[in-house]
Amino acid sequence: MIKPLIIAGLVAVSALPTFAQQKTKQKIIPKQNKVTPMFESKIDSASYAFGLSMARDLKKRGLKNLNGKLVAQAIEDYFSESPIRIKEEDEYKAISDVLTAAAEDLKKEQTAAGDSFLAQNKTKAGVHTTTSGLQYEIIRDAVGPKPLATDSVTVNYKGALLSGKVFDSSYDRGEPISFQLNRVIQGWQEGLQLMPVGAHYRFYIPYQLGYGERGAGNDIPPFSVLVFDVELLKIGG
């Protein structure tokens, strides 16, 4: 029944009165002004890039807003050697106070969301929880050797945030990755030692066993619970 309904909808749209079509034709489209390019030099591009980089870093650290006009004014004052409008000791205190408060708010938000997810997730059938707080689910079991922390392993994996956003995937790159197990995050060290070769597990990693209070790069915020699908392909080189 779905296909006929879709066809019926298309027919209904095509049968709209021609008056609507004529009315559309009568609309006057205002003349658009030519847009002046924003970047006229390498310095222009770099200046905007510096601003973006700073904003991205501050937002990742929990700062939700800034007065952009005053940020630009401070940069202008400094580079033009104009009088600075804040004492140096007040400068550092202002930054410290705001970033400390932002970090505390971010920690509350992220840990509350992560703790709530893990508390519910551990009650689901098939989800196991270790004494460290690592949760794992066996997607495909296997019979074979299990690695030690000192072993080198080869895996395929996909990592995502609780939002579902994938931040890394060997599947997308089209090739597995090899590494020494004791050189990766604690959640992987513990989880992979539970897996026999050939198995496919899903790990739910609390932030304490992942990238902690700092996060990683631009894609993993601080205090993030991570969800990894991991297939253990082999042990050793």
Summarised one tens digit per residue, pLDDT across range 139-164 is 999 999 999 999 999 999 999 999 99
pLDDT digits (tens, 9 = 90+) for 79-136: 999 999 999 999 999 999 999 998 888 888 889 999 999 999 999 999 999 999 999 9
Angstrom distance (rounded) from CA 227 to CA 229: 7
Q: What is the structure's pLDDT at 213? A: 87
Domains, the chain: 47-118 (no CATH), 129-235 (3.10.50.40)
What three-state secondary structure class fits 137?
A: strand
* Angle at the Cα of 49 from the Cα atoms of 44 and 54, rounded to 5 degrees: 135
**203: how many CB neighbours lie within 10 A of its CB?**
25
Three-class secondary structure assignment of 182-233: HHCCHHHHHHHCCCCCCCEEEEEECHHHCCCCCCECCCECCCCCEEEEEEEE
**Confidence tier at 31 by pLDDT (50, 70, 90):** low
Q: Does position 34 have pLDDT exceeding 70, yes or no? A: no
Q: What does pTM read for this prediction?
A: 0.69
Nearest to 183 by CA among 155, 228, 151: 151
Burial 4-29 (b: 16+ CB within 10 A, else e): eeeeeeeeeeeeeeeeeeeeeeeeee
Is the pLDDT reported for residue 19 higher than 70? no
Whole-number Å distance between alpha carbons of 194 and 187: 11
Q: Are 128 and 194 in contact (CB under 8 A)?
A: no
pLDDT reported for residue 217: 82
Measured CA to CA, the distance from residue 126 to residue 72 in angstroms comes to 54
Question: pLDDT, tens digit, for every residue of 205-229?
Answer: 999 999 998 888 888 988 999 999 9
d(CA 124, CA 137): 10
The answer to whether the beta carbons of residues 197 and 140 sit under 8 Å apart is no
Q: Which H helix or E strand runs over 152?
A: strand 152-161
pLDDT for 87 equals: 92
CA distances, 4 to each of 1, 15, 41 (Å): 6, 16, 57
Which helix (H) or strand (E) segment is 43 a member of?
Answer: helix 42-60
77: burial class by Cβ within 10 Å (0-12, 13-18, 19+)? middle
- Distance CA(83)–CA(30), nearest Å, equals 46
Longest dimension (CA), the chain: 76
